[in-house]
């Protein structure tokens, strides 16, 4: 199976139980993609979304993405070109929705390692070695997801994969 390319960006660090209303508040529900994009973390910090750059990553604690199963949470992350989310663990429905939309969600091998990453720090996620590298020359081990999840990411999402049945069977 081919590997995903490494991603590089800045870390945006959050704590435990970040729910979908914090990720994308209902006041930004819209069919207008720019409105959805602007809503990312708006009620947490209105200045955060404009500062996010393509390739940046979210660092989370326990139960990241808890709450409702709103697709707009995932869409706002994707519209802002968040490259991946690395957390202690994820709410199951959020994880599946992110996976189905080809947004990599990866967990720390050691949950305490999340404290080794500072907000704003430059980081690189290496999918070949399942390691998060920091600009402080720190190397943090991650738990690789199953092969099927990786194939969904590589295909560009579940719908893309279902469009190509050979990708479902390969492995």
Model confidence pLDDT, tens digit, residues 11-30? 999 999 999 999 999 999 99
Question: Contact 132/140 with Cβ under 8 angstroms?
Answer: yes
In tens, the pLDDT along 98-146 reads 999 999 999 999 999 999 999 999 999 999 999 999 999 999 999 999 9
pLDDT at 70: 85
Under the banding of pLDDT at 50, 70 and 90, the label for residue 1 is very low
With a cut of 80, say whether residue 153 has pLDDT above it.
yes
Q: Which two structure tokens, joined as six digits, stand for 171?
A: 């492995």
Domain extents for the chain? Answer: 7-169
Instruction: Please list the residues that pair with 58 across neighbouring strands.
Output: 12, 85
- Which CATH architecture best describes the domain 7-169? Alpha-Beta Barrel (3.20)
Q: What percent of the chain has pLDDT over 90?
A: 88
Tell me the longest C-alpha to C-alpha distance in the chain.
44
Q: Which phi and psi (to 5°) does residue 66 adopt?
A: -70, 170
pLDDT at 162: 87
The mean pLDDT of 43-48, rounded to a whole number, is: 93
Q: What is the DSSP string of 98-155?
A: HHHTT--EEEESSGGGGGG--TT-EEEEETTTTEEEETTS-EEEEEPPPHHHHHHHHH
CA-nearest of 140, 160, 3, 5 to 59 is: 140
pLDDT at 26: 94
**Whole-model pTM?**
0.92
Q: Which residue has the tokens 């500072």?
A: 118
Q: Across the chain, what does the average pLDDT equal?
A: 93
In tens, the pLDDT along 79-92 reads 999 999 999 999 99
């Amino acid at each position: 199976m081919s590997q995903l390319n490494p991603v590089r960006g800045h870390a945006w660090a959050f704590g435990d139980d970040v729910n979908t209303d914090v990720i994308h508040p209902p006041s930004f529900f819209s069919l207008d993609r720019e409105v959805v994009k602007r809503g990312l973390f708006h009620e947490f910090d209105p200045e955060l979304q404009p500062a996010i750059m393509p390739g940046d990553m979210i660092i989370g604690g326990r139960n990241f993405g808890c709450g409702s199963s709103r697709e707009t949470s995932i869409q706002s992350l994707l519209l802002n070109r968040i490259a991946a989310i690395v957390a202690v663990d994820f709410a199951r429905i959020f994880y599946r929705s992110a996976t189905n939309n080809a947004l990599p969600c990866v967990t720390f091998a050691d949950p305490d390692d999340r404290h080794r990453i500072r907000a704003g720090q430059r980081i690189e996620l290496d999918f070949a070695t399942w390691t998060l590298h920091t600009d402080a020359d720190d190397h943090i081990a991650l738990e690789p997801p199953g092969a099927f999840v990786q194939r969904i990411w590589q295909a560009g999402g579940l719908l893309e994969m279902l469009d190509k049945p050979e990708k479902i069977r390969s492995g």
